[in-house]
Structure 1
Amino acid sequence: MTQSVESLFESAIERYKAGEEPKALIPVFKDICDRTPKSSASWTCLAWLYLLENQPNNALKAAKTAVKLNPQDPQARVNLASAMLESGQSGVRQHIEIVQQIMTLDAEIRQEIIDNIQDGLTRKPDWQSLIRIQKWLLGN
């Protein structure tokens, strides 16, 4: 019996939270994205994993898809901004400004972004693009 996409997604998120290596989870999220190509959350997660694994070009493609599917998702835009910085793309500022606007309007989302940045820097302490984004978004 095959796992439903929803349970596969939840299981993969739990595996990530439990500390499983991003490299092991990339194929899982690629499969989820193949099976549900309109799932912004899945593309956002895949982009994050690619960024953690120093694959900015793959992250850029996944993050662009996530933002296209859900332009209001601030984490998708953080991932896109990071991938753009790491792959030398221009146009980062507009994504940062949108995230700042959303964070100003929603304290819960603001905290989620802060938590995600902390998680990223815990897993990858020298993540320069995320450090820059953190400074732009939080001023620290």
Structure 2
Amino acid sequence: MTETVGTLFEESLERYKAGEEVATLIPAFKEVCDRAPKSSAAWACLAWLYMLDSKPNPAFKAAQKAVKLNPQDAQSRVNLALAMLENNTKGVREHIDLAMQLIMIDDEVRAEIKQSIADGFARKPDWKSLERVNNWLFEV
């Protein structure tokens, strides 16, 4: 029986939340993106995983797709800013400013981004680019 793309996405997300190794999750999220190429959430997750796995080039491409599909998603903007920092690409400020606007108007989104950043530090403690983004967004 073929697994639906929604089921695969949810199961992969649960595996991530359970602490599974990032490198083992990337193929599952790539499959979700292949099967549902217009899913901005899947592309955002894939970009995040690539960043956690220290693969900024594919992270940049995945984050660009996520932002293109959903320009109003704060996590996609954060992911793109992180990938740009890791790749020494110009234009980071625009994405930080947009993410900041999005988290200022929605407390739920703000909490999700804070949780995502905390998760990033838990999985990759000395992540300098994440430190910079965190400082910019939350003025720590």
Q: 1:77-92 residue pairs with structure 2 within 5 A?
A: 77-92=77-92
1:107-127 per-position Cα deviation (integer Å, ceiling 9, x unaligned): 010000000000000000011
SS of equivalent to 2:20: coil
The alignment covers a number of residue pairs equal to 140
TM-score where L is the length of structure 2? 0.99
Which residue of structure 1 lines up, in the alignment, with residue 115 of structure 2?
A: 115
Q: 1:1-140 residue pairs with structure 2 within 5 A?
A: 1-140=1-140
Specify the code of the residue in structure 1 equivalent to 2:12.
Answer: A
Separation (CA, whole Å) in 2 of partners of 1:128 and 1:51: 12
Residue 2 of structure 1 deviates from its aligned partner by 1.1
Specify the code of the residue in structure 2 equivalent to 1:10.
Answer: E
Specify the code of the residue in structure 2 equivalent to 1:36.
Answer: A
Separation (CA, whole Å) in 2 of partners of 1:37 and 1:76: 15
SS of equivalent to 2:72: coil
1:29-70 per-position Cα deviation (integer Å, ceiling 9, x unaligned): 001100000000000000000000000000000000000000
Query: Identity over aligned residues, as a percent?
Result: 59
Separation (CA, whole Å) in 2 of partners of 1:27 and 1:128: 26
TM-score where L is the length of structure 1? 0.99
Specify the code of the residue in structure 2 equivalent to 1:122.
Answer: A
Residue 88 of structure 1 deviates from its aligned partner by 0.7
Specify the code of the residue in structure 2 equivalent to 1:23.
Answer: A
Structure 2: stretches of 5+ with no match in the other structure = none
